[in-house]
Amino acid sequence: MRIGIDARTILNPKEGEAIGSGHYTYQLLKNILELDKENEYVIFFDFRAREKDIQKFTKLNVRIVFYPFSDYRKYLPGAYNEILTASTLAKENLDVLHSTSPSSRIPSTYRGKIVVTFHDMAIYKIPECFPKTMVIRNKFSYRLMAKKADKIIAVSESIKKELDDEFKIGDKVEVIHGGLDERFFKEQEDGAGRILGKMGLDKKYILFLGTIEASKNITRVLQAFAQFKKKIIFQNKKNKDAKKFNYQLLLVGKRGWLVDDCIQLAKDLDIAKDIVFAGYVIGDELVPILKNAQFLVLPSLYEGFGMTVLESFATGLPVIASKLPSLEEIGRDAIYFVNPTDVNGIAEAMFEFSQSPELREEFRRKGLEISKEFNWRDVALKTIDVYNKIVS
């Protein structure tokens, strides 16, 4: 079998590509190529791919192809995709083509077998959280890809239901949960102090991990932290021996749409000195950040899967998160669930976690057990099975 995989999402997230789908593509490719030595693979990149990422996929059964003239895509996006991309794909004589994100659109003229992975349906569920141009563009791409695909991989049962509700295609959707990188399970190496110090962390810290954008509910995270701070200060006033407010809120993630509004809100709430906007953090630094946090707070308005929750589980970090179908699906009873629109409820959950090591330990233990169920090897094997079903 000759299998094509669109790897255009494997880019430096600072350049503007989606982090989640890029991470998925990278791990899927890495594990498929380690397991499958029989099939041929054609991996498609464009000019923004990092050289070190391309080299990692150099194998005897792998051919790497660059889309031609990809610099011109920003000027002629339709023509580029429909003519140049279609021509490149046709030359490879593929049995299956896997697009690892519906945003990486396959030309409408392409007639080969197609697999598409859907990571979320946020633009349909919470369109108000995204720029209008993005919503229009992605809705067109999502609908086209859902229609063209011979098989769709949904990363959660929740997304499968949302796909069927929107496109009525449940019969061709298979659910394959994402996996966990082994590095999240490893013991912490020296150097955590240097990493935390570089970020300006000198107190106990609460972690938010995700793109700094409206869909992640950052405004309410900041408002809840401000209330949490008031609760701690009020409690300390009753105890003369208590220390002053000894917490920071660390926000780790790519700066997205309306991030400047969040920075201004922190100033307006008089918590700016307690907030660290760390930006995007490279993989090697993420594990110590997770392992040394007090707990994760993730009151998102929408999640398609919840990789951040699983990564926290694997590092032993207790989690406060929104009561959403996808998070209930993977987290079960290992998440302290909150209503994402209830600022008081989020603040109270943060306060409860801060006051009870026993409560944090209970959720830490449950999360660690669940995290062992998710690995990329299984994801790769199940995905190869999907390829086989299409061509059989």
* Mean pLDDT calculated for residue range 16-42: 86
* Mean pLDDT calculated for residue range 312-329: 97
Indicate the CATH number for domain 182-371: 3.40.50.2000
Structure tokens at 363: 């959720």
Per-residue pLDDT for 173 more than 80? yes
Fold of 2-179+375-391: Rossmann fold (3.40.50)
* Mean pLDDT calculated for residue range 8-36: 78
d(CA 275, CA 294): 15
Taking alpha carbons only, the member of 379, 391, 388, 392 closest to residue 153 is 379
What residues contact residue 200 under an 8 Å CB cut-off, 6+ apart?
276
Structure tokens at 391: 């061509």
Q: Lowest mean pLDDT: which of 68-72, 280-284, 319-323?
A: 68-72
pLDDT band per the 50, 70, 90 thresholds, residue 243: low
pTM: 0.90
- Return the higher-pLDDT residue of 361 and 71: 361
Taking alpha carbons only, the member of 156, 70, 81 closest to residue 117 is 156
Domain ranges for the chain: 2-179+375-391, 182-371
- Return the higher-pLDDT residue of 194 and 180: 180
CA of residue 164 relative to chain centroid, distance: 22
**Residue 76: predicted pLDDT:** 57
Say if residues 181 and 308 touch (Cβ distance below 8 Å).
no
**Residue 81: predicted pLDDT:** 63
Query: How many angstroms separate the Cα of 250 from the Cα of each of 204, 244, 253?
Result: 10, 19, 10
Sheet holding 247-252, edge to edge: 275-279, 247-252, 204-209, 296-298, 319-322, 336-338
* Mean pLDDT calculated for residue range 306-311: 94
Q: Lowest mean pLDDT: which of 69-83, 129-143, 156-170, 255-269?
A: 69-83
pLDDT digit string, tens, across residues 280-302: 887 778 899 999 999 999 999 99
d(CA 365, CA 354): 17
Considering the chain, what percentage of its residues have pLDDT values greater than 90?
64
Per-residue pLDDT for 124 more than 70? yes
What residues contact residue 369 under an 8 Å CB cut-off, 6+ apart?
334
Structure tokens at 287: 């594990």
**Residue 272: predicted pLDDT:** 94
Say if residues 298 and 308 touch (Cβ distance below 8 Å).
yes
